[in-house]
Structure 1
């Protein structure tokens, strides 16, 4: 099994979060892009402002690495219009895959109809552009029941609004990797949360993200059935090395 085929190699820190200048952070982004090209990872996942840069670097290298970005990241609380605007720009800049953060707080507050509408319309925009969409449900913010309910909601929208041939391009994704939690608790994918997602997402694919830093963790997630892994430790994982990533 070549883990590279599952890897969404990820760098989503802002310059402030990384303790770097904007120029230094851009240099890190370029390093991550070049690493993805050299390692032939499935995709490189970056913030929207770096999509055009990644598209240029990858095209110049004649690489098959896909360009991914996050939309309404990391809280997911923007309006539908704001989500659409950000996604439209990312597509124009050359993104192949868009990972939207679901408005999970609105869902928890009972705004199911509004969340359903956002999932439908943002998915429609993305698929109509020939791209892949992933919906981040943020498992660390949810109860087990809410994980089941929100995963099921994404699935129901897909099955009711789109054709079967499109299902493979509509993912349910576990986490942003940036949700604040108490020390010792996971803010990303766990085996328990992924099992719940797998049981309720089918026939949609699942992406595990957040806190995956070792080869054994990656292999465990794949064994559970996920189709993609979002990790800032992609090279360490494929090299069987220790990861120094903190998200």
Structure 2
């Protein structure tokens, strides 16, 4: 698999215009990235632009705080599915997890994961590693695997930092081959991308995809 195929080409900026979205879509098509990752508003548009390609359309759920109610997360997922999304990246309820309320966190995630799986969509769960201790990263990764997601993901890119290699190492150690790991945020160069892959990441979320592949 080429480096390009690891990349979820990401644009989640609040001020992103249609011209910006068009650029991301064009770059993803021309460089055979795995997917485009866009805010929910753009899912239907991106899906139409990419329907004759191998590039997936991805979006975020409960983003960026994870503190939406379960019903709202499920509604977001349902709307994205109706709009043609291929993959859903949902933010874990970080505060509830930090409080040790794992059962509530798992129930919240399972509702979204079930919604996705009913329509054969892949689900990734963002645990926001910047806000967790090493022990919490391990526990969160195990919880995500137990909840049935396909991926556990490091970061939203909107917290105090993005992914670090140690985060990915801990996550991969926790989940083994049960599910996959996505490193997101803080991946700006080819060297950083390769370090994340070496640590165990099977997918990379980055807004610097063109720079990573040496075209910017």
Give the superposition deviation at 1:240.
6.0
Matched length: 215
Structure 2 length-normalised TM? 0.96
Instruction: Tell me if 1:204 matches 2:179.
Output: yes
Deviating 4+ runs (over 3 angstroms) = none
Q: 1:26 aligns with which of 18, 24, 37?
A: 18
Q: 2:157 aligns with which of 177, 188, 191?
A: 177
For the pair shown, the structure with the greater C-alpha radius of gyration is 1
Measure, in 1, the Cα distance between the counterparts of 2:85 and 2:191.
30
Equivalent residue number for residue 139 of structure 1: 129
Equivalent residue number for residue 193 of structure 2: 218
What does 1:37-186 align with in structure 2 at a 5 Å threshold? 37-59=29-51, 62-158=52-148, 170-179=150-159, 181=160
Instruction: Tell me if 1:236 matches 2:211.
Output: yes
Give the superposition deviation at 1:110.
2.6
CA RMSD of aligned residues (A): 1.2
**Secondary structure of the residue that 2:27 maps to in structure 1?**
helix
Gaps of 5+ in 2: none
Contact 1:43 1:68 in 2 (8 A): yes
Gaps of 5+ in 1: 19-24, 159-168, 182-186, 242-247
